[in-house]
Amino acid sequence: MKHADTAVKFIVSQAQPKASADLSKYIAYAPPRKDAVALVDKQRLADMPTVPENFKRAVQINANFWADNADQINKRFQVWLTQ
> Between 45 and 7, whose confidence is greater?
7
User: What is the Cβ-side half-sphere exposure of residue 38, based on CA atoms within 13 angstroms?
Assistant: 3
Q: What is the pLDDT of residue 8?
A: 95
For the chain, domain boundaries: 4-81
- How many Å apart are CA 40 and CA 60, to the nearest integer? 25
- How many Å apart are CA 36 and CA 21, to the nearest integer? 5
Give pLDDT tens digits for 33-81. Answer: 889 989 999 888 888 887 778 888 888 889 999 999 999 999 999 999 9
Residue 45 host element (H or E): helix 42-45
Whole-model pTM: value is: 0.56
